[in-house]
Amino acid sequence: MHYKTQIEAARQGILTDQIKLVAKKENRPAEWIREGVANGTIAIPANVHHQSLSAEGIGDGLKTKINVNLGISGDAKNYDLEMNKVKMAVKMGAESIMDLSNYGKTHEFREKLIDYSPAMIGTVPMYDAIGYLEKDLLKMTADDFLRVVEAHAKEGVDFMTIHAGINRRAIEGFKRSGRRMNIVSRGGSLLFAWMEMTGNENPFFEHYDDVLEILHEHDAVISIGDSLRPGCLDDSTDAGQIGELIEIGYLTERAWKAGVQVLVEGPGHMAIDEIAANMKLQKRLCHNAPFYVLGPLVTDIAPGYDHITSAIGGAIAASNGANFLCYVTPAEHLRLPNLDDVRDGIIAAKIAAHAADIANKLPGARDQDNRMADARQKLDWNAMFKEAMDPEKARRYYESVPLAQKHTCSMCGKMCAVRTTNKILSGEKVVFCDENGKCD
């Protein structure tokens, strides 16, 4: 049998090495994973050129995955810092890293990133186009855009955000909607500007078959970007967002037909009471393709704390159908994140993902929580640190205050509820004062 992509192999009944690895990681039968890949509800981004990859599955019935954004900008050109962020993301267990570099020649950085990273790698070729081609936006042609997609595919990028859904029909809906924030997608805004300046159709939509042919050749996944995602609460679930989503559903089916795996990208900023309905709407319109969301951020007024607003929305989204969370750092809307921001963003996204996995009752999702509860019941601090999502921070906090009472923490000391209950259940007395009546 001949196949070039994971979805083609799955349709032929073949258990690829990547399918077997995902099954092992997910505590699922390999045949169950294969069926999900075959029908498109599971995607395994695994470019044939990414030799260091440890494959992960994204989709229904699997653990919620998280993505870490990083990359060079015109105002922050420290490649060593960005590589340190990569190493931190890998160490902390992020399953995906997106290189969003948009300045200069990024090929060398991306080459090192793909060579090093066991996490899947994503890009947005539109961001790289101006630097890669050394052309201004207005002078670019459809062929130019396709050249950048092909270059990223050849380098080993596992999935690419392609903003193919913002076609002429979607733009008409956007213009009618009278948005408060207009377009906040960087790639979407660039394509919108190019279309308006040239009068042409979106090249990724007009030449979609050519895009799919490139991705198919290297088994790269298309992540269909949501150019019209809401950038504030007031723009969520409007005609622009839903109109583009309808186009994305059409493009999803075309990609599957061409033997290309699909991720679908979603909002954005959104009030809590709209999230569940949006997840179900996406699954319906996009035929249960894996859903990748940025947040959603549940309020617009917390710059400096948007990792929290994102984690709240992400947990709700992933417990209602989203499969893949893009982390948001405290620096969102303010600056390129530093290492501390990246750490905080990863932890917030991991909390959201794990909380959703528990709510979705995935196999083994509560095991670590149960081990933590057992360690706390025994007041076994080393075991607690081992189970903590961020062991270094947990230990640092615990050890930051000298303790008068062994095994307790500085919050309760001798009055620790667990200590008190353990003593009573073991037949001991609970004593707080010495024989002279001195009480600590």
Please state the residue numbers annotated as binding site for substrate. Answer: 69, 98, 127, 163, 185-187, 226-229, 265, 292
Please state the residue numbers annotated as binding site. Answer: 69, 98, 127, 163, 185-187, 226-229, 265, 269, 292, 333, 409, 412, 416
Tell me 162's DSSP state: E
Buried b / exposed e along 173-201 (16+ C-beta atoms within 10 A): bbeebebeebbbbbbbbbbbebbeeeeee
Residue 53's nearest CA partner among 77, 17, 82, 7 is 17
Token pair, residue 266, equals: 């979603």
Say what angle helices 30-39 and 17-26 make with each other, to 10 degrees.
110
How many angstroms separate the Cα of 435 from the Cα of each of 42, 431, 438, 439?
Answer: 67, 10, 7, 9
Question: β-strands 159-162, 120-123: how paired?
Answer: parallel
Tell me 76's DSSP state: B
Q: Under a CB-based contact definition with an 8 Å cutoff, are residues 297 and 263 in contact?
A: no
Which residue's structure tokens are 């969102």? 332
Please state the residue numbers annotated as binding site for [4Fe-4S] cluster. Answer: 409, 412, 416
How many angstroms separate the Cα of 424 from the Cα of each of 160, 286, 401, 419?
Answer: 59, 57, 27, 9
Alpha-carbon distance 231 to 233, whole Å? Answer: 7
CB under 8 Å to 221, separation ≥6 — which residues? 43, 45, 158, 159, 160, 215, 260, 261, 262, 263
Burial tier of 80 (Cβ tally within 10 Å: 0-12, 13-18, 19+): exposed
Please state the residue numbers annotated as binding site for Zn(2+). Answer: 269, 333
Which residue's structure tokens are 């959201």? 352
**Cis preceding linkage at 118, omega within 30:** no
